[in-house]
Amino acid sequence: MVLGTSGDVVSRAKEMFVEAQWTPAMSTGVPDLDHQHKVLIAHLNRLTQAMSEGRGPEQLDETLDFLQLYAAKHFADEESDMAAWHCPAAEENKRAHAEFIDRFGLLRAEVRAAGATDGAVARTAYALSTWLVLHIQGCDTQLRACIRQQPCDAVEADQVEA
Ligand SMILES: [Fe+2]
Ligand SMILES: [Fe+2]
């Protein structure tokens, strides 16, 4: 298993997604980035909703297509903001994004090979949501402190939260 799952993944995925909500504690201090995080979470929630309605397999490809494009744009925006604010987490963030892209590719290949079964949908939803929430909390939110601590010419003051 590429992203790591075990046990009753279907019920774990459902539980996880019920709780996978963006909260102010996940703020990066940049409204655009926070909006992108909310969109990513919403799309993963849509996949779980489809799964609970028995439409998971038919929704899976659409969700993965969207995530592949949207995550690439989000990663580029976020890396640019972290560099602009001289965030100490910038390199760690870049590495994590590159690792995610690699793992995402392997996950897609695995789903293609095995077919979009309910189990594959549950494992995918669980793995992606877990990674996303933990990554936002552990890495992306480090940007918030940088914005508070130092002025930056590269980003207009009205683009960040006080
Ligand atoms: Fe990130
Ligand atoms: Fe992010």
pLDDT digits (tens, 9 = 90+) for 26-59: 999 999 999 999 999 999 988 888 888 888 888 8
Which residues sit with Cβ closer than 5 angstroms to ligand 1, an ion? 78, 93, 140
The residue ranking higher by pLDDT, 86 or 161, is 86
Integer Cα distance of 77 and 73 in angstroms: 6
Integer Cα distance of 51 and 72 in angstroms: 25
From the CA of 95, how far away is ligand 1's center (Å)?
Answer: 9
| pLDDT of 6 over the 80 cut | no
Integer Cα distance of 24 and 3 in angstroms: 27
Contact 60, 120 (CB under 8 A): yes
| pLDDT of 157 over the 50 cut | no
Q: What are phi and psi of 55, to 5 degrees?
A: -110, 15
Distance set, CA 2 to CA 24, 45, 140, 156 (Å): 31, 21, 23, 40
Q: CB-based burial of residue 157 (10 Å sphere; 0-12 exposed, 13-18 middle, 19+ buried)?
A: exposed
Contact 63, 69 (CB under 8 A): no
pTM of the shown model? 0.82
From the CA of 108, how far away is ligand 2's center (Å)?
Answer: 20
Share of the chain above pLDDT 70, in %: 81
- pLDDT at residue 42, rounded to an integer: 93
- pLDDT at residue 8, rounded to an integer: 60
Mean pLDDT (the chain, rounded)? 85
* Nearest ligand for residue 97 CA: 1
| pLDDT of 4 over the 50 cut | no
Domains of the chain, earliest start first: 9-21+28-150 (1.20.120.50)
**Residue 53: what residue type?**
E
| pLDDT of 84 over the 80 cut | yes
From the CA of 134, how far away is ligand 2's center (Å)?
Answer: 10
- pLDDT at residue 77, rounded to an integer: 98
From the CA of 140, how far away is ligand 2's center (Å)?
Answer: 5
